[in-house]
Copies of this chain bind each other. A is one copy, B any other.
Amino acid sequence: MSGTSEKEQPRRRQARGERRIAQLLQAAAQVFCTTGYTAASTNAIAREAGVSPGTLYQFFPNKEAIAIELGDRLVHEMREAYGEALAPVDPGTPVEQAIGSAVDRFMAFNTEHPVFFALMHGPDIPGRMAEAHDQLHTTVTARIESLLASLMPGADPADVTRRAHVCLGVYKAGLELVLAHEGAERAAYIQEVKDVLVRYLEPLVGERPRHG
């Protein structure tokens, strides 16, 4: 029987501390964005935030915890703002509209928070971060699966899963292109991503059988 107070309250923060945390997370986002996670040094993050390394470690036990907290906050914000973007649609909804609005929402979020892509995409993510990545990936894939299932009822579940993975992969690839451009070119690339997805999925919703 272990003690009753296994989890001690980590600390009692002051308003100043919360501000510092936000400041440090913003600085970390900046540094992660430009150099990636592994190449980002904690000293650089502290410098970017205008504080000393010791101050950084006052609020985060280690480098990984910074990325974890940043990722958690981003995931939370994404869930709040765009959680319904992949909800199953009415049977009558045209595919263009469903895909278009979903792509628009996620593109907006990702261009507003480029760190998200940087943290989730790099092969240099730490162990605990990979878990979070996998969990989010699974969640999003499941959402896409149910969306696809609502579009093409009676299809082989394995096919639906595979197509969901392909859709997410296409979106990620498109996101990379979108983030690499600005203005009109960026808008044009967003439209291309929609086109790719719509044309990929359109033959599946029309109930004429596909010869494979």
Contacts and interface: CB of A to CB of B under 8 A. Distances in A.
Interface stretch (A14-22, A42-50, A143-151, A166-174): A166-174
A208 to B, nearest CB: 14
A162 interface: yes
Given A166-B174, A174-B169, A36 B124 contact: yes
Interface residues of A, number: 30
A13 to B, nearest CB: 34
Contact of A203 (B162, B169, B177, B199): B199
Contacts of A63: none
A165 interface: yes
B38 A162 contact: no
Interface in A167-204: 169-170, 172-174, 176-177, 185, 188-189, 192-193, 195-196, 199-200, 202-203
Contacts of A192: 162-163, 166
A123 interface: yes
Interface in A106-120: 118
11 contacts: A38-B38, A38-B124, A122-B122, A122-B123, A123-B124, A162-B189, A165-B189, A166-B174, A196-B196, A199-B202, A199-B203
